[in-house]
């Protein structure tokens, strides 16, 4: 894991271009995905999809804002379209999905997945600070 501290101290010089491989939307031999999100996000997803919170998620057992955890079907996220590898709730997908392959920790530091976990790392252009600022703006909307 790569970690940097400080709210505005975003990960630097990291190339990333998503290939839509969907590896971050399912379990694999290498990892088990934990797709966690807030109550507010769960309510937004439920409203947009017409599916009850209890159908697509369970309580995570965590004491922080990530109070719910996505259900999976045979290791795939409940909302992953297996054939197209696309997200069925893309516009309302949880913050952790928007952040991936980055992760915002509770102390304000950032972590970045290993290149072996995300084939989009090392491709395309450098991720700009504006990307992280947009994510933080969204985080404020769904967590506070
Ligand atoms: S694992 Fe990385 S490249 Fe693959 S879909 Fe997720 S973010 Fe995109
Ligand atoms: S909500 Fe969408 S983006 Fe997030 S893990 Fe599920 S399918 Fe992937």
Give the closest residue (by CA) to ligand 1 atom 2: 118
> Residue 71 C-alpha to ligand 2 middle, in angstroms?
11
Q: Which domain holds residue 23?
A: 2-143
Tens-digit pLDDT profile for residues 14-58? 999 999 999 999 998 878 999 999 999 999 999 999 999 999 999
Mean per-residue pLDDT for 90-107? 91
Lowest-pLDDT range, 2-6, 7-11, 24-28, 119-123? 2-6
Q: How many domains does the chain have?
A: 1
Note the pTM of the prediction, 2 decimals. 0.89
Give residues with Cβ within 8 angstroms of 11, minimum separation 6: 2, 4, 102, 110, 112, 127, 132
């Amino acid at each position: 894991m790569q970690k940097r501290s400080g709210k505005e101290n975003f990960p630097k010089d990291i190339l990333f271009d998503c290939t839509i491989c969907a590896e971050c939307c399912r379990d694999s031999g290498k990892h088990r995905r934990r797709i966690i999100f807030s109550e507010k996000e769960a309510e937004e997803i439920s409203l947009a999809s017409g599916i009850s919170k209890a159908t697509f998620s369970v309580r995570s057992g965590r004491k922080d804002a990530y109070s719910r955890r996505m259900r999976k079907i045979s290791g795939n996220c409940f909302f992953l379209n297996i054939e197209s590898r696309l997200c069925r709730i893309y516009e309302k997908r949880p913050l952790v999905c928007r952040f991936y392959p980055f992760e915002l920790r509770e102390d304000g530091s950032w972590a970045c997945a290993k290149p072996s976990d995300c084939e989009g790392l090392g491709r395309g252009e450098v991720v700009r600070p504006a990307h992280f600022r947009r994510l933080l703006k969204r985080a404020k909307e769904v967590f506070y």
